[in-house]
Chains A and B, each alone.
Chain A
Amino acid sequence: MQKLLFSVLFLFAFAFTHPVLATEEEAHSEETTQHEEGSEEFDPTEAIFEHILDSYEWHIVTIGEKHISLPLPVILWDQGELHVFSSAKFHHGHDSYNGYYIAHEGDNEGRIVRIDANGEEVTPLLDLSITKNVAALFFSIFLLFIIFVPVARKYKKRENQAPKGFQAFIEPVIQFVIDDIAKPNIGEKRYMRYTPYLLTVFFFIFINNLMGLIPFFPFGANLTGNIAVTMTLAVFTLLIVNFSGNKGYWKHVFATPGVPFWLLPIMIPVEIIGILAKPFALMVRLFANITAGHIVVLSLVSLIFIFKSLALSPVSVAFVLFMDVLELLVAALQAYIFTLLTALFIGLAVQEAEHH
């Protein structure tokens, strides 16, 4: 109980530190903006997007005019050649390296581009760089391992004994995913096959949502608010659902019971759209919720700089604190919803024909 209380306090501590540190970062990015572009105006849109979008280096802190960031490897497959170099070669986006540079405007803004033979700006064929989000992804996976593998080991060590410590903290969540998400939606018979995926999705989304809320290095990447990540997860769900689909499921798609024959040419495309719409909704829901949360928090912090008034900061901080607490709820809720809907779609695909 004491440890649980401690964990909760710990989470709240993060919630409290967020506004303060975010404020500092904002301050620096403001300076940066002013310094780089020579403009006196603070552009909140640019500052916010800098935080929620991906980047080739992981900005840690700016002291005075000195940027401290973690350079990440750039991996490009272009013109039949593999280019691997450190993003430090770009000098925070100011320089070009081997003809590659980071575009600051246009369609490819924020991406690595080069000038091709026609003098046009093009992206390399394959950009597999370890960006900030990829690094955050690896870090979150590392965290998941150092959380769950010891827990699993503890189960082996304390066989048939009551859970203890962190194990006791995490067990109800695992039980919740199994007993309240997987079992009722997929059914008693088949749910065990899908629980590993559902548990992984749940904890992956949850931990990345929480990591996104912590504003300082090595957290703060907007991973679950990135459409590439949510799309990948949604595609996994799409594949699992459709590969699990039984006869009844496909019959429902291609020969919907009770629909007259001549209506099928209309119904089949509708059903196929339905198949795609389900994971599409998953993708957009997670992406939009998390990104929106980040934008709101960052906008509230930006108010201080827009009004250029320190007196506003208590109001700003109070609102940010409120939003952060709300985001804690959203972090758990979105992980729950994604997992629940995945389980529900799997359940619909594998359910027995008699249920129709």
Chain B
Amino acid sequence: MLTTPGLGLVFWTTIAFILLVVLLRKFAWKPIITAIQKRNEAIDEALKAAEIARAEMANLQAENEKLLVQAKEERDIILAEARKMRDKIVEESGEKAKEEAERIIQAANENIHFEKMAAITDLKNQLATLSLEIAEKILEKELAGDSKQKELAEKLVNEVSFN
């Protein structure tokens, strides 16, 4: 009994098991296996992408550092240049000021000289005029009285000598 296979059970098991394999294959195993494979691939890809991203990040960081160093160097250069420029400007402006001052002084001196000469010329001219006037007045007095003319001339000369 125990070791005699029942025909009915063999029949139903065969049908049921074939159906089970076919249906589970279609609705369970295939989707599950495909999903697992796809997921594994996705995980692999993600890991690879992460690795690449990490490498890129490291690259970027190195580049950044390089840029930073470069920027610092450039800054130093610019600062040094600026300092030089400043010194130069200060120096130049000092010189210019000195020149200007000298020029102004010279101009003033020239002016003074010119003014002095003008004044002398003017004085000379006035002296001439005065001399003429004196001469005129003397001449007028000589016409009026001899003594008086003499007196006037002396007086005028005195007056003139003051000038």
Q: Which residues of A line the B interface, CB within 8 A?
A: 49, 52-54, 75, 109-111, 126-131, 133-134, 137-138, 141, 144-145, 148-149, 151-153, 155-156, 159-161, 171, 174-175, 178, 192, 195-197, 199-200, 204, 226-229, 231-233, 236, 291
Contacts and interface: CB of A to CB of B under 8 A. Distances in A.
A233 B33 CA distance: 23
B33 A126 contact: no
B71 interface: no
14 contacts: A127-B7, A127-B8, A128-B11, A130-B12, A131-B6, A131-B9, A133-B6, A137-B13, A141-B19, A145-B27, A148-B32, A149-B27, A149-B28, A228-B9
A171 B6 contact: no
Given A110-B1, A134-B8, A160-B38, A195 B27 contact: no
A134 B12 contact: yes
- For the complex, would chain B's binding face be called helix, strand, loop or mixed by DSSP majority? helix
Contacts of B144: none
B30 interface: yes
Interface residues of B toward A: which range? 35 or more
B2 to A, nearest CB: 7
Given A160-B39, A160-B42, A231 B5 contact: yes
Contacts of B36: 155, 171, 174-175
- For the complex, would chain A's binding face be called helix, strand, loop or mixed by DSSP majority? helix
A199 B31 CA distance: 13
Contacts of A54: 6, 9
Contacts of A75: 8
Nearest to A291: B2
B55 interface: no
A228 B6 contact: yes
Contacts of A160: 38-39, 42-43
A226 B32 CA distance: 31
Interface in B1-60: 1-14, 16-17, 19-21, 23-25, 27-33, 35-36, 38-39, 42-43
